[in-house]
Structure 1
Amino acid sequence: MYANLGLVDKKIKIADLLDDDYYFNNPNKYTLSHEEQLYLKNNPTLKIHNESNWPPFNFIKNNKPTGFSIDYMNLLASKLGIQVEYISGFTWSEYLEKLKNNEIDVMLNISKTPQREEFFNFTTSYMESIDTVFVKSNVNTFKSLNDFKGKRLAVLKGFYEEELLKKIYPEIKLIFVENSLDGLKKVLFNEVDGFFDNLIVANYFLKNNFITNIKPAFEIKDKNFNLDLRIATNKSNTILRDILEKGKNLITEEELLNLKRKWIDSKKEKFLPEINLTKNEKTYLQKKEIITMCVDPDWEPFEKINKNGEHEGIAADLINLISKKLNIEIKLVPTKTWDETLEFSKNKKCDILSFLNETPKRKEWLSFTIPIFEDPNVIIARNEFQNTKSLLELENRTIAIPKGTAMHEFFEKDFPNLKIIPVDSENEAFSLVENRKVDMTVRSLIIAAYTIQKENLFNLKIVDKPLKYKNQLRIGVLKEETILVNILNKTIKTISKKDQEDIINNHLSIKIPKNNEYLDIFIYTIIFIILITLLITFWNYQLRKRIEIEIKKNNEQQNIMFQQNKQAELGNLIGNISHQWRDSLTKIGYINLNLRARLLQNKEIPQEFLNKSTLEIEKSLDFMSETMQNFLDYYKPSSNIYEFEVYDSIVSALSIIDTKIKNSNLHIEFLGDFDVKIKGIRNEWMQVWINLIINSINISIMRDIKNPQIEIYLSKNEIVFEDNCGKIEEELLEKINEEKYTGIGIKMAKEIANKNNQQMIILNSKKGAIFKFVKQTN
């Protein structure tokens, strides 16, 4: 019968079908019709849409599809005995087009509208939906969609609300956004008057981004809205819709309830644990209404006041969490400096200071909560600074510390041997260390790692970790507000370790590992660093051995003059390479510093950071390897005469003296034909290029040329080096041209040119010297 209907190939034997694993192992063979079973046999994997950012229903976390709708689809697929492939990376509108064009099989969490029914089939709903409009917390003028006529309302682009709002409320000015967080941000920054969204989705974003001053204004009561979430297929694919509907019916109430508990109703989703406040404490908060707060305006990543006058950073998120838990507004009192913040607090212009250490001076006018955050302090200095066992061992050393800070107070008292340089900010302290104006600074480990990474301060390192000076950051409360200290202490105790970790991760991109992962990370990091150290040591050893061997060979060559010149430059060149290697090693050392900082904080190393770090190390090691190889190619004797590209040989020579070039601020510009070739021994010509460039550098230093430059012009007829370092003295130029000049560099260059059928011509230009190599004609 099925063969006659064209549903199966007539050549297939029914016995073969009956033996197929699908029919014997599929749990739903009695639920689905034969036609539906055949459809799934021919389409064992369904392509399902997966959004990037619509939590808690459908989003991506750790590069994996996740959410209520994803779990629901996985459960449904297991009931049907099929596989699913999630398609990610597109917008909602693009997914709608893909379903229209049968490029995907299924869309999840979609609402049914008359317009969509023209293109899609829908299952019954699997999740109820409550639509809400969100506004700023201090706005009370909106009670229904009618109140938004003439106002700006943000809606998700391509979502069903767009279609209905245009039709039913044409007077509302619609502002389209790509995701819920963008919509909430537009409300936050007064770019729109409200945002239309699913209540569960918007609350998820508010909670996870610690946004406290946005609220749901009203539930949409219009019967046209609040459409439930369904599964959709292409209009032509009715059979798949019917299969999915039957699969839905196999999901039990208990299974559905478990999914809702996991994503929506679970303890994990409940935002505020109960705070056991006394009647007096509750009365205090009711009368208080607003708590005023002063902060450090420039203390990233802990806290800062941004250009819009808003409080940002780790402290800001912790304070927002406290505000949410107590259901009271904590209002920022802006200041420009930390000194001004302290003055405002002393003059009772704010009730609390958000994030500071307890010190004897501060206790004169403040009471302190229990610690809200802990972080060790470290001593930061330049790479050449020797590590010390105790700061008391140091004499006449300078240390930059932001004035008015706890460390400023402690160090003045405990280290009379150090000269303390008060500064206005963290960045100023780091800048003074980097530029050798002071020897060191003391800062929080998190701030040190953050600043070194942000500002690329690869020449700084941690030289000490004084355990006595650990940051125990607290909230400072005016002494008159004793009851507020008790309230805040109770609230701080309800902040879980996970809450803190999430906030830190949000600002530092650091994940917290499970205990059993920490040891693995530590072991792999140590092994990694040891391997790098061994590799560098081995290369240094190989370099020394190769140099010794090459010197011995070179001394046996007939042309002893060239080797003497090389040996004369050997110390300089090795020193130059060591500087270049130091830059690469500093980068590797910085990565090690960052790893240490994370490990000291008991943090996991994220995979993305490891990938980026290993790539950076690989690039640094490749550079070191290439530099060493260029040096060895240059230094080893060779009698191989062949045609080589002039440009490449000059670039190889430049890599050997790269640091010298950078330190002299020399600019080199290539002109002409970069494919020009010359015949000869390549490393001899490299010696010529190095001599000419070093000669220009030395003259520029001697004559104090501010912006030294060399133009290198390449053509088939000539190779020209022209600098701007001033003319060669006429008497000296005459000696050079009459072969009376005894300088080994110029003499060697001329002899190399002559033996390779090139004439070296030296003359003056208006701005400097010209060294020209012209092919000799017979």
Structure 2
Amino acid sequence: MNLLLKFLIIIILFNSYLFSHTELKKVKLQLSWLNQFQFAGYYLAKEKGYYEELGLDVEIIPYKMGMNIPSLVSTNSIDFAVGRENLILEKANKHKNLVLLYASFQTSPLVLLSKQSSNINNIKDFENKRIMSTLEDSSEASLKAMISSNNVDFKSLNFIKHSHDISDLINNKTDLISAYSSKTPYDLQKRKIKYKVFDPKDYDFDMYSDFLYTNTELINSDPKTVKNFKKASIKGWEYAYLNIKESVELIKKKYNTQNLTSGQLTFEANELKNLSFYKTNSFGDINENKIRRMFDLYKLMGLVKNENKIDYKNFIFNDENSFNYTEEEREYLKNKKVLNICSTPNWLPYGKIDDKGNYIGIASEFTNLLSHKIDIDIKIIPTNKWLDSPSKLDSKECDVIPIIINTKHRNKTMNLTRAYFNQTVVLATKDEELFINKLKDVGNKKIAVLKNTAFIDVLEKEYPDINIVLVNSPSEGLEKVNNSKAFAYVDTLVSIGYAIKNNSYYNLKIAGRLKNTISFSMATRIEDKILNNILENSLSTISNNEKENILKNWISINFTKEVDFTIVFKIIIAFILAFIILFIFMYKQNKLKKEIENLNKTLEQRVKVEVENNRIKDITLFEQSKLVSMGEMIRNIAHQWRQLLNRINLNLSIIKTVYEEKDNKEIIDKKIIDAQKNINYMSDTIDDFMNFFRPDKKKSTFLIYKIINESLKLLESRTLDINIEVIVPKEIEIYSYKNEYLQVLLIILNNAIDNFDITKVENKKIKIKYKENKSSIELYIKDNSGGIKEEYLKNIFEPYFTTKFKKEGTGIGLYMAKLLIEDSMNGNLKVESIDDTSTFIIRLKK
């Protein structure tokens, strides 16, 4: 009995062990060069357990001279590899199954170096010079394009074999040498050798480098592994760049086959970080147009064989487009072959069958896109009215209703996918009506609404007192508003925009929006769950850009006729003024950078000098903060002006259209006045901009409420989707530095807006309130952008501290805000964070 009991216990323990240890998927990663910080992201993903967390056991294979790595990946000998920019040639000429996952560097670190004493001052001076280079380096498009664009004949260049010894350049055994900007310049600096860098990106040839890539066979057979490897690798890179010191020590300890010093690795890390985030804030971005440009360069150089082409859609991996169907779903699609789609009745821009029998509209474009993604043919089943679609779906004449408003009631009678796009509900009124904040403010005035739409029930439930008038089409609804038979027409933004565009309702406008959002889904039969799952997966792969492009096709308004009015010249003058202001501040920024460089060269180690230098540093940081704010202001002004110019352009087009008609003087006068108002607003924007950057070293009495409004006005284009509540009495005054106080507000508000962009909070809120004490005045600025981690709170006001990746100007804003409040204005600035909210408190003496 004891023996049997022991045996059972052993069996139970063995089974527990088996089920508690999930076997990791073994994959191989091939590096493209010797171990260094160039591959830090992969080291960190492995050492920090990011690969293991996603079920991967990754073997990092060191580089050996003479390896044909693309061939190893193409033949499935290696799962993943790191490749240089000439990987595009491998794709075009040899290995058609290679697929790019991401680019580690947005521009290549590959450059040419010469000694300053060699008198090689420009590319033209390369002629008849010796260039030490590897075969791979000399075939890179970036170097070839840089040289060719300067009309240098390659036959005049003397290429010699690379020794990988920088002493050959120093000892004049070569005139130029190919090298990585992340490594060789450090060695030259340590040896005090002055040098010149010829970087392709300085000649507008900013080519991607260090692609992570795999093959189509692995993507098709195991897309989950590909996605997880990419995800964990990017996470490793993010950690490496945020923790450079730790990453350097790890590489020195475990991956330092070249015996690199901490100084060399740190120099490399900082340079590569700049290249990874060159003109972007996201790691790994790949733009199809840039890949096309790289391919075209190779083609122009005669390096692409015959008429070889690249299928760009299959060359760049898209996480969202990589389906992972179940066996049941694959079998369903194999047997289905054709999807029957119920057409939308006459309901443009959403859908309609035109006079030629073609199905057009938003639903049609989403359906076609879906057909392409699923790789299945579709057949359109015509319907005459909306109720035909559920009926045909039930009778199995149709498999899918392509667009339907998602409601709880409909979920009981059919399968609805998750919403694949949403629309804001807005009100259209006559031009002279005021902006409507809430629908209940309309009172009992008539509101036209499209009949048989799901949001009638929503309106009647939420606004029981409104007077609804049902109409058969958006055009009929707008016509009733136009003829004063209804006060407003309520519909989605796309629907109203399309109707106004196509029916030329010049005197109507969007006068407000409701808090309601309409969600559009696709529908299948209640029992057809497999098809519903397929649609769910496929719809989730449609990118935001694809959605935006479809919607823009149906609501964009293009005016191509030339309009010759004096207003246009005023706008041009205004733009010239803006560019002059921008040029002045760019000039000041460059001058400031040179002053900083000169200052760093003359620092001494004495107490008095250190005190003076700290003061200069504070001034410099203040100027940098101003310049950061300047960039934000220009971006906001550009956004505001773009909207105003669209409105002016619309008014001018209307004037042009009605000019030859009779009795239209009133309309023309009105549109001209409206255009003049827009130009005046643009002029006021310039005044606000100039006032902000005017030095303000004298105290004055100002209204806090007015300064808050000025800051919000300057940030208007960034706060359209943020609910901002200001609870500050209009009469409260303070005696201090007005512009400095304004800059502090802008820094804090911009910080909140940046955090909203990172955390993607849906219900964005900023609350500004006021509190008066016996001896001080306090301003509370609270946002729900996600809060601040406890470990960051103690460092949040330190200079150059930031939790973001490379983004110009970050790290000094909050430090400058604290400096301005506490040193200049003799006040106090602190921050509190509870859960997902942050509150900045500005306290000034009365």
TM-score, with structure 1 as normaliser = 0.36
TM-score, with structure 2 as normaliser = 0.34
